[in-house]
Amino acid sequence: MKSYLVIGLGLFGQALARQLCKLGADVLAMDVSSHLVQQVASDVTHAVVGDAKDKEVLRALGAKEFDCAVIAIGNDLAASVLVAMNLMELGVPYIVCKAHDETHRKVLEKLGVNRVVIPEQENAQRLGRSLHSHNVLEYIELSEEYGILEVPAPKGWTGKSIRDLNIRARLGINIIAVESGRKTNVSPSAEYVIQAEDILVVLGDTYSLEELQKL
């Protein structure tokens, strides 16, 4: 079981802490506000009131024992930098930090934070992809180059097997699951025949996924 330390329990921090716990992770959520800690306490493994800007507080909580620490303390650049430095000095193996804008991101990346996210920006990019392609049901960005797309099966594919379509060779994508009605076929075989109402979950690079949307 992976363990996470989530620091800062605003809307983003609370949502993340709850989601990680739902996925089966061990989650310690902390904030300087007792009110915010109480809001999430029943939904995570542990919730504590504490100031992560104090390295000794993090040490007492056993921060270095967590697989990952997420700094979600909002728009205060100085505070996020100090907390990140504390976590790195304590030896936390992987640190993710929420940033407010690109300047905030660059500072944190230069500091050595493993991953910096700007939730508003990433959500906007994801929404933009969905709005631009009316047939896209869901898009998950794995990196700048790769993603997972959930899309209705193209009409021209109905009645043909995955082998016959030669999708991997022609388009450079992999079908990782097929949703047919209430059933989900994970890693379908090459002999699987595409049905008219199938929803395909495909993995590929950005260019290949864009080409798929044109079919």
Provide the token pair at 65.
Answer: 């024992």
SS3 of residue 9 by DSSP: coil
**Cβ distance 41 to 64 under 8 Å?**
no
Q: Supply the pLDDT for residue 30.
A: 97
Q: Supply the pLDDT for residue 137.
A: 57
Kindly report the length of the chain: 215
Enter the pTM of the model. 0.61
Per-residue pLDDT tens for 62-81? 999 999 999 998 778 899 99
Side chain identity at residue 122, one-letter code? E
Per-residue pLDDT tens for 46-58? 999 999 999 999 9
Q: Supply the pLDDT for residue 134.
A: 45
Q: Residues in the chain with pLDDT < 70? A: 1, 120-144
Q: Supply the pLDDT for residue 42.
A: 95
Q: What does the mean pLDDT of the chain come to?
A: 87
Q: CA angle 131-135-137, nearest 5°?
A: 75
Q: Supply the pLDDT for residue 128.
A: 55
Burial of 35 (0-12, 13-18, 19+ CB in 10 A): exposed
